[in-house]
Structure 1
């Protein structure tokens, strides 16, 4: 304040034209005018600074948006490659449960990914087309876990799915010549492995919560399928095994500990096999047309398209 007062000139004695005592009043008025002028200049600078700050914030936000846009543009192609197939036909309801995620309803055009668990609702049917052109269809009440799916563009390197229960039909596109690309459908009782064919697998629902599926049916309508049947070991059988033979291993059972052996079977077109764990046997015979023509079989016939390429 003292510096400001020194900046206000004092009138010369006798020459100010002001009555005695008014000189100090004049100095105060002049100081007021000076302070107001400085405040106005400060406000102007503040407004300019505020405008600059707002501009800087806007520019920063724009830069961040551009950065995220570039990052997302780089990430989206990679995310798209996570899809291993899509829904082509859906009658009724179905859902996909990503690993570590929450269930999402499926619709025609929805992508599916590896580690998805697919569940089909009652009185419903689902058709998927995989990246290599192979086709999967699931019947009502089915649950399928896609444990492995390796594709390079439209070429399959490997595919493995576990059918917990229900019905699945597959039309497997032949791999390139010389390729060992596998296509396996597993159940608790069997593994059906193919290279290029059409087949169906039915897994019966467990009779006890948490138990393994007691029965698997594999039907082959085209090509050849190798079935690895998992059979329980009867008490005392383990002692009869000779050196070099396959030994039983504990099954992944949550209720009881079960042991089994494996039996390899080769099925051709119009063959089928029933793997019945409760009876501990496999039964190979001709394809049961009554089973193949059930409501799920009719859905397959409506949507299977031309023969396997």
Structure 2
């Protein structure tokens, strides 16, 4: 261990609707995960897409070995996970497999850039139709929701989980000595998604992520003020308004069931609004990123089958 590694990480319980427990991995767990990397669960191809004065954009394609997924069956439901990797468990959400990967700071023309934000750009998946999902009561494995009317599907949250998010790792007193190649952040990639409209579990075999690195002092994410959608002739049109001190890019990721894929488009800016059209689909994510790489996300409320609406606040991490 040296001063680049995490010294202390403390679990935190957030109370409200829903209650969520956040338990960062210990330093030992991070070291253990590094040792397990000798048997890779995913391979990655990364290319630099854009570079500005203080921000770099890289696009990474993760090819996931889904043959290493294990299906865990219980009375309350089933879920998939990787051996040695903690699954994603959020209040009133189906438990999903995830990969957790340390993200390095990088050097760009002599400037130290740290991970700032991530944007979900797409995925390929396979469909597992005979799965009743395990749903967590408070985001903690072991505190499962009791079955409702014989199925967990009725108690799912109506908010679509974001497939990728970036968690910052506290650097303690060594923050000022952070160097390129150190690990100030952890990328969490969900390797699955339960689609209640199809009553099927989707398992991602490929995930595409835009990763922003920045030295910009602006660390405030854009504010999404409105997302308006309309449907016509099998298409969904978006009008998004957002505010930020810098220029913004608006990306809509959406599920394309016919291709067994998630895709993404960039909306077109005009008169302070961003507009664009995708094939009609219930599952989509609106992501707004500013010039410093800060990201805000809007997830729609999706009606569940059987119908039972659960209103929960959206928590962006």
**Does TM, scored on the shorter chain, surpass 0.5?**
no
Which one has a bigger Cα radius of gyration?
Answer: 1
Q: TM-score category by the smaller chain?
A: under 0.3
Higher helix share: 1
- Which structure's relative contact order is higher, taking Cα pairs within 8 Å and 6+ residues apart? 2
